[in-house]
Structure formats: structure tokens, C-alpha cells
Amino acid sequence: MEKKLILGLGVVLVSLAVFVSGCTTQSNQITNQTSNQSGSFQITSTAFVQGGQIPQKYTADGEDISPPLSWTSAPQNTVSFTITCEDPDASGSGGGAFYHWIVFDISANITQLSEGITNQRTLDNGAKQGTNDMGTIGYSGPSPPRGTHRYAFKIYALDTTLNLEPGATKQQVKDAMEGHVLAEAQITGKYGA
């Protein structure tokens, strides 16, 4: 009877050890996934934090200049970047979000855009600007007619250059990016007049 009890207790202890070992392994996998996420592709701005208020300086009610943006941890085989600023709370041309800014064919060796990018068709660094939903080239800052809107500054890491002409529309840019996006990230700010 004692031998059976000891044997049964031994089986229970071995099973418990295997179970605890499995839980520890699973816990380590979760920890590793979390730590890997911290090194993932991301875009930030020194002008505002994620979900924060966009300073008036960067809006049509202020100086109407683009905010500073920087990005890290792009995929190794990135060839170019595309950046857009979209207002999902307004309707743009052709429906969908209202586009305030489109910059494409940004070289893979560039990791930031300073504030106040000029509204020229081709930038000094070789990047090109598209036509926003205001019908102009370059950045057109937030200016919601009423209430507070969200403005998503999105960056796309691409495995190619788009080779579109400066002044391309959002639809042309979206179509050219299709099938070439390696990673994307965004920072969203809010603004209300």
C-alpha cells in the first residue's frame, strides 16, 4: 500500500514538474514577444505624444508647418518610405480619410524629417510630395470645421520606390504601394479649433 502511495505521489510530482516547466517556457515566450515589440518599427515626434494635442503651430490656425518626425527599426530590406497625414474624422476626395500630406520615395537611409518641410514637389533629399485633399502639394495642417479630429501620421516601409511623378494623388500612391509594404507605423495626435 505504501509503495503504491509513494509511486502515485512520484507520478504526481513528475507531472507537476512537467506542467510548471511548460508554464515557465510559455511565460518566457510571452516575455520575449513583448521585448521584441519594443524594437519594432515606430514613428515619433518631438512636437506631440501619441494621442496628445498637436500644437497650434503645426495647424492651419498657426504657422501651418509640418511637425518634426523620426522613425526607428525599419526592416533591413527597406528601399523607401512613404509618409501620410490622414484625418479619419473627415471625408476626403474619393471618400475615406482626408489626406493632409503625402511624401513618398523617401530614401531608406533617412530616419527623420525636420519641421517645416517646404511645399515643393521634390525635396532636397530626393523625396517627392503628392497632392493632398486640399488640392495642393505638400503639407496642409489640421483645421477641423468643428470639434476635435484625429490626425494620423503614418509611415510605410517599402521594398521598392514608387517612381511616381511629384504631385501624385493619394489613390496613385496607395495603388503603387500595394504589395510592397514591409511594415507600417503611426503616431496620432488630436486638434480642435
**pLDDT band at 145; cut points 50, 70, 90:** confident
Residue type, 157: A
What pLDDT does residue 150 have? 97
Cα separation, 152 vs 84, whole angstroms: 8
pLDDT at 7 over 60: no
Q: Looking at per-residue confidence, does 188 or 8 come out higher?
A: 188
Q: Answer whether residue 24 shows pLDDT above 50.
A: no
Q: How far apart are CA 56 and CA 26, in angstroms?
A: 47
Mean pLDDT of the chain: 84
Region 32-60 average pLDDT? 80
DSSP the chain: -HHHHHHHHHHHHHHHHHHHHHHHHHHHHHHHHHHHHTTS-EEE-SS--TTSBPPGGGSTTTT--PPPEEEE---TT--EEEEEEEEEEEE-TTSSEEEEEEEEEEETT--EE-SS----SB-TTS-EE-B-TTSSBS------SSSEEEEEEEEEEESS---PPTT--HHHHHHHHTT-EEEEEEEEEEEE-
- Report d(CA 173, CA 131) in Å as an integer: 10
Q: What is the pLDDT of residue 19?
A: 40
d(Cα 121, Cα 93) in Å, to the nearest integer? 20
Residue 160 has pLDDT above 90, yes or no: yes
Give the sheet arrangement for strand 69-72, strand by strand. Answer: 42-44, 69-72, 112-113
Give the separation between CA 22 and CA 19, rounded to whole angstroms.
Answer: 5
Predicted local confidence at residue 156, as pLDDT: 98
User: What digits encode the pLDDT tens for the residues 77-131?
Assistant: 999 999 999 999 987 776 789 999 999 999 999 999 999 999 999 999 999 999 9
> Percent of the chain beyond pLDDT 90?
74
| pLDDT at 81 (0 to 100) | 98
Residue 26: pLDDT band with limits 50, 70, 90:
very low
